Amino acid sequence: MNGIDVGQPTAVRLFLVFCRIGLTSFGGGLSGWLLRELVQKRQWLSEEEFLNGLALSQALPGINVTNLAIWIGYRLRGPGGAIMCFLGIIVPPAFIIIGVGALFATLSGFALTYPLLNGAGAAAIGLSLSMGLTAARRVPRRTIPLAMMVATFVAIAFLHVPLAWVALIGGGMSVALEYHRLMRIVPDDR
């Protein structure tokens, strides 16, 4: 279909892809990795579907990236897919962090470790930022969604409002306004 044979998202392929992302995503920005691997490279999901899942994962309690993994797994492959994606993104890195903990004394004596990690961390911020810009670019060019996006940014970045409040109050308001708008556009829909 797109010239590159990336195959269908079977449960095993999902597990392997999420393992790989779990094991190589140094410095955070995991949702940026997922966007790159699943939407841009393999085209298993549309950008639209991915961003919807991301928005829900952020609003729900729990770790955003595991929420997103379960969401995507369920969407692509049902219950088995959800379990495979969840295990793939958690279990292999869990072994790594214990290994890092055990090796830490040795590594911390190596002078290059910290600057290398700082540089890796800086590049990883690029993953989060490009994810954020992609999400912002797809926000509808209407007053209310744009205002909600800016208000959320200001509340967290400058006013230091706790995330839970932003999710509950900002998210609640935004959803209510959107529901109201949909009622006006298609009033006779259910």
Residues between 12 and 41 with contacts to other proteins, criterion CB under 8 A: 22-33, 36, 40-41
Tokens standing for residue 177: 């306004």
Supply the minimum distance, in Å, between the C-beta of residue 183 and other proteins. Answer: 8
Q: In this complex, which beta carbon is closest to other proteins, that of residue 12 or of residue 123?
A: 123
Q: In this complex, which beta carbon is closest to other proteins, that of residue 13 or of residue 22?
A: 22
- Residues whose CB falls within 8 Å of the CB of residue 93, separated by 6 or more in sequence, listed in order: 22, 23
59-to-62, 68, 99, 113, 177 alpha-carbon distances in Å: 9, 11, 32, 35, 16
Q: How far apart are CA 30 and CA 19, in angstroms?
A: 12
Number of residues that bind other proteins (CB under 8 A): 105
Binders of other proteins in range 77-136 (CB under 8 A): 79, 82, 86, 89-90, 92-94, 96-98, 100-101, 104, 112, 115-136
Cβ–Cβ contacts within 10 Å for residue 102, how many?
A: 9
Q: Exactly one of 39, 65, 77, 84 binds other proteins (CB under 8 A); which one?
A: 65
State the binding string over 136-175 for other proteins (x if CB under 8 A, else -).
x-xxx----xx-xxxxxx-xxx----xxx-xxx-xx--xx
Tell me if 42 contacts other proteins by CB under 8 A. no
Q: In this complex, which beta carbon is closest to other proteins, that of residue 12 or of residue 138?
A: 138
Cβ–Cβ contacts within 10 Å for residue 54, how many?
A: 22
- Three-state DSSP class for residue 41: helix
